[in-house]
Copies of this chain bind each other. A is one copy, B any other.
């Protein structure tokens, strides 16, 4: 299994999480038509009022890299950047399981 997994934590600028959430859900919607993206889920954590976690699984790492060069992705990053105070990311190599 040569997939790529990502957990990405976006910390929102004070009082901007709701707006950032909407943008990330829009990004998730755009992912429907992106080949190579198996999973893109936008989550609110239980005990943190300022952050959003995105869970991604890509069927190969190059599909993920290619997606970042799309005009729609660049546009989203431009719009979202002022709302984000921090980004942390955990890169994973999925080994198997249910739903992949």
Q: Which of A's residues lie within 8 Å of B, judged by CB?
A: 5, 7, 21, 25, 28, 31-32, 37-47, 53-55, 57, 90-100
Contacts and interface: CB of A to CB of B under 8 A. Distances in A.
Contact of A90 (B28, B37, B53): B53
Number of copies of this protein chain within its complex: 2
Nearest to A21: B95
**Chain A interface secondary structure, helix, strand, loop or mixed?**
strand
Given A5-B41, A46-B90, 7 more contacts: A32-B98, A39-B99, A40-B98, A40-B99, A42-B95, A42-B96, A45-B91
A41 B93 contact: no
A42 to B, nearest CB: 5
A91 B5 contact: no
Contact of A97 (B31, B92, B94): B31
Given A5-B55, A57-B99, A99-B57, A41 B94 contact: yes
